[in-house]
Structure 1
Amino acid sequence: MIHFVVLISRQGKVRLTKWYSPYSQKERTKVIRELSGLVLNRGPKLSNFVEWRGLKVVYKRYASLYFCMCIDPEDNELEILEIIHHYVEILDRYFGSVCELDLIYNFHKAYYVLDELLIAGELQESSKKTIARLIAAQDSLVEAAKEEANSISNIIAQATK
């Protein structure tokens, strides 16, 4: 099981977090501080797996972001690396060569993609095409809602003149 997902920039800024195990806000802050210090200070030639607090942290660096997932000690690290890569490929397909700014300004979409990929710390959907179709459907719903809100506000504006 995946306990949490954290995306950290090379400067140590947290760009995305998703918690699948219960942690208090104080614990979350401490975990992020420890994890960022642990991952950012590791050399590039070292393994992408770290034993931490009786758990394993699997991470992978893509451009300026570290994608970190904390798993149970008996879980398969290579499978988690594949899940991280799968998530990055889906983000790349959606944003067209995803970068850190895409995640900063469209964090809600990055969360939506992650929610389509993982549920309760387990892989839900492995098909990129299915996830892309679901995201496109969600985007069309959002656009339809925006158009409806604009038309309603136009009607109200005309009625109050």
Structure 2
Amino acid sequence: MIHFVLLISRQGKVRLTKWYSPYSQKERSKVIRELSGMILNRAPKLCNFVEWRGLKAVYKRYASLYFCLCIDQEDNELEILEIIHHYVEILDRYFGSVCELDLIFNFHKAYYILDELLIAGELQESSKKTVARLIAAQDSLVETAKEQASSISNIIAQATK
């Protein structure tokens, strides 16, 4: 089971967190501080698995971001690396060569995509096409809602003149 997902920049700034196990806010801050310090200080040639507090942290660096997932000891690290890569590929497909700024300014989309991939710490959808279709459907719903809100506000503005 995946306990949490962290996206950390090379400067140690947290760009995305998703918690699947119960942690208090104080514990979350401590976890982020410990893991980011541990991962950021590791040499690039070392393996991408770190044992931590009876769990395993599996991470992978893409450009300026570290994608880190914390799993149980008995879980398969290579499968988690594939999940990380799968998530990055879907982000790349959606944003067109995703970068840190895409995640900063469109964090809600990054969370939505992650929610389409993982539910309760388990892989939900392995098909990139299915996830892309679901994201496109959600985007069209958002656009429809914006258009309706705009037309309603225009009607209200005309009625109050």
Query: SS in structure 1 opposite 2:125?
Result: coil
Query: SS in structure 2 opposite 1:125?
Result: coil
For 1:66 and 1:136, locate their aligned partners in 2 and report how far apart those are by CA, in whole Å: 26
1:81-128 Cα shifts (integer Å, max 9, x gaps)? 000000000000000000000000000000000000000000000000
Please state how far the C-alpha of 1:131 moved relative to its aligned partner. Answer: 0.1
For 1:42 and 1:25, locate their aligned partners in 2 and report how far apart those are by CA, in whole Å: 26
* Aligned match of 1:121: 121
For 1:36 and 1:50, locate their aligned partners in 2 and report how far apart those are by CA, in whole Å: 12
Please state how far the C-alpha of 1:137 moved relative to its aligned partner. Answer: 0.1
1:16-62 Cα shifts (integer Å, max 9, x gaps)? 00000000000000000001000000000000000000000000000
For 1:136 and 1:117, locate their aligned partners in 2 and report how far apart those are by CA, in whole Å: 15
Identity %: 91
Please state how far the C-alpha of 1:8 moved relative to its aligned partner. Answer: 0.1
Aligned residues: 161
1:111-159 Cα shifts (integer Å, max 9, x gaps)? 0000000000000000000000000000000000000000000000000
Note the aligned Cα RMSD (angstroms).
0.2
| 4+ residue segments displaced more than 6 Å | none
For 1:27 and 1:83, locate their aligned partners in 2 and report how far apart those are by CA, in whole Å: 25
- TM-score normalised by length of structure 1: 1.00
1:66-85 Cα shifts (integer Å, max 9, x gaps)? 00000000000000000000
* Aligned match of 2:91: 91
Q: How does 1:135-150 map to 2 (within 5 A)?
A: 135-150=135-150
